[in-house]
């Protein structure tokens, strides 16, 4: 029977907490990875790698500790093409499993590499097709598995999603990104600005974190404070709204806003703020408030 100690435990430490304990990421980076994870529905480890806050090796190390399964560096592992007779191509493709070595002894042990979380279904399938009663799992990174599957079986990486993101729009007609407004408020803002030829688009947390310097994000002060807590930063220009109190204007300044309006539904005031921020000669060195802000 396969040795998979941690997979049979009801509770285990969270991957993010392990990475924090190892000092491989900080709280702000974990928050960024969680946003990506929830928005794109990819595993947290892959989300953190895509965000560039840690490496695949870092994630693999943490997953090994989390699951209690030894990790292997497939790029350094000598692979034996003869072992592919034990795991047919269809099983290798379906479960992204790579044969490592066949250990001789009283009972033969087939060692295999596969992605986290090393499902029992995959190990059962390998046992069934290989005829080996004992299968020992080892964790490997997505990239290394792709290389190995290509080399041993000629398989392309069909399961892994492309990490290539479409290029963002550029130019003076970029839509104003609306973040964290209630649907009714966002609709009213959009309609008011549309009358002046300014396009808007509701943005998700992940999209806000991946803005470029050409983007303007319009959001409530409190919502951006939550998103940018800790060390998180965005490249886009922040235009925020709160109340007429000086305290909210100061809060906007503290998180790097370049514009501020007290009333998000004041179309004329908002329009002037947007045009000032989009003007190459506009002074956006610190948040400017409108006459009622």
pLDDT tens figures, 207-244:
898 899 899 999 999 999 888 876 678 889 999 998 87
| Residue 7 DSSP symbol | G
Domain boundary among 100, 132, 164: 164
Assign residue 182 the CATH number of its domain.
3.40.50.2300
Q: Where are the beta strands (DSSP E) in 119-242?
A: 134-139, 176-178, 200-202, 216-220, 237-241
Phi-psi group of 154: left, alpha or beta (phi > 0 → left; psi -120 to 50 → alpha; rest → beta): left
Burial grade of 129 (CB within 10 A; 0-12, 13-18, 19 or more): middle
Is residue 171 situated within a structural domain? no
How many domains does one find in the chain? 2
Q: What is the rounded CA–CA span in Å between residue 223 and residue 232? A: 14
Q: What is the rounded CA–CA span in Å between residue 66 and residue 13? A: 6
Do the Cβ atoms of 186 and 142 come closer than 8 Å? Answer: no
pTM over 0.75: no
Indicate whether 21 and 147 sit together in one domain. Answer: yes
Indicate whether 27 and 116 sit together in one domain. Answer: yes
Indicate whether 135 and 252 sit together in one domain. Answer: no
Q: What is the CA radius of gyration of the chain?
A: 26
User: By three-state DSSP, how is residue 275 classified?
Assistant: helix
Predicted local confidence at residue 38, as pLDDT: 76
Phi-psi group of 53: left, alpha or beta (phi > 0 → left; psi -120 to 50 → alpha; rest → beta): alpha
| Residue 268 DSSP symbol | H
User: By three-state DSSP, how is residue 139 classified?
Assistant: strand
Token pair for residue 217?
Answer: 């994000």
Do the Cβ atoms of 116 and 67 come closer than 8 Å? Answer: yes
β-strand pairing of 98-103 with 109-114: antiparallel
| Residue 63 DSSP symbol | H
Residues 66-78: what's their mean pLDDT?
91
Percent of the chain with pLDDT strictly greater than 90: 51
Is residue 169 situated within a structural domain? no
Indicate whether 198 and 255 sit together in one domain. Answer: yes
Q: What is the rounded CA–CA span in Å between residue 203 and residue 238? A: 13
Assign residue 55 the CATH number of its domain.
3.30.300.160
pLDDT tens, residue by residue, 36-49 = 887 777 889 988 99
pLDDT-derived band of residue 1, with 50, 70 and 90 as boundaries?
very low
Domain that holds residue 283: 176-289
Indicate whether 158 and 272 sit together in one domain. Answer: no
Compute the 3-state secondary structure of the chain and give helix, strand, coil in percent, each to the nearest 5.
Answer: 45, 15, 45
Query: In this predicted structure, which of 167-171, 177-181, 243-247 has the lowest mean pLDDT?
Result: 167-171
Domain boundary among 140, 164, 188: 164
Give the orientation angle of helix 142-153 with respect to helix 56-67, to 10 degrees: 100
Indicate whether 152 and 31 sit together in one domain. Answer: yes
Residues 28-55: what's their mean pLDDT?
85
Domain boundary among 137, 164, 191: 164
Do the Cβ atoms of 112 and 87 come closer than 8 Å? Answer: yes
Kindly tell me if the per-residue pLDDT of 126 is higher than 70. yes
Distances (CA, A) of 106 to 111, 134, 188: 15, 11, 74
Closest alpha carbon to 14 in 57, 48, 40 = 48
Indicate whether 152 and 197 sit together in one domain. Answer: no
């Amino acid at each position: 029977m396969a040795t998979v100690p941690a997979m049979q435990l009801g509770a285990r430490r969270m991957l993010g907490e392990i990475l924090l304990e190892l000092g491989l990421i900080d709280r702000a980076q974990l928050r960024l990875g969680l946003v990506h994870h929830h928005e794109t529905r990819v595993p947290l480890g892959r989300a953190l790698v895509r965000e560039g806050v840690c490496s695949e090796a870092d994630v693999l190390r943490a997953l090994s500790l989390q699951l209690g399964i030894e990790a292997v560096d497939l790029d350094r592992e000598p692979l034996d093409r003869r072992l592919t007779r034990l795991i047919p191509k269809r099983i290798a493709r379906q479960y992204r499993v790579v044969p490592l070595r066949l250990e001789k002894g009283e009972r033969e042990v087939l060692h295999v590499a596969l992605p986290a979380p090393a499902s029992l279904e995959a190990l059962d399938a390998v046992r069934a097709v290989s005829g080996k009663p004992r299968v020992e799992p080892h964790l490997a990174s997505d990239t290394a598995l792709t290389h190995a599957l290509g080399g041993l079986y000629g398989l392309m990486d069909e399961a892994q999603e492309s990490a290539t993101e479409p290029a963002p729009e550029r130019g003076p007609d970029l839509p104003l990104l609306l973040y964290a407004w209630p649907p009714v408020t966002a609709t009213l803002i959009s309609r008011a600005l549309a009358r002046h030829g300014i396009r808007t688009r509701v943005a998700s947390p992940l999209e806000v974190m991946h803005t470029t310097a050409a983007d303007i994000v319009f959001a409530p002060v409190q919502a951006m404070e939550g998103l940018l807590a800790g060390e998180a930063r965005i490249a886009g220009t922040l235009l925020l709204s709160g109340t007429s109190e000086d305290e909210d204007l100061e809060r906007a300044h503290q998180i790097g806003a370049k514009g501020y309006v007290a009333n998000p539904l004041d179309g004329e005031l908002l329009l002037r703020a947007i045009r000032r921020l989009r003007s190459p000669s506009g002074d956006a060195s610190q948040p400017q408030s409108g006459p009622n802000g």
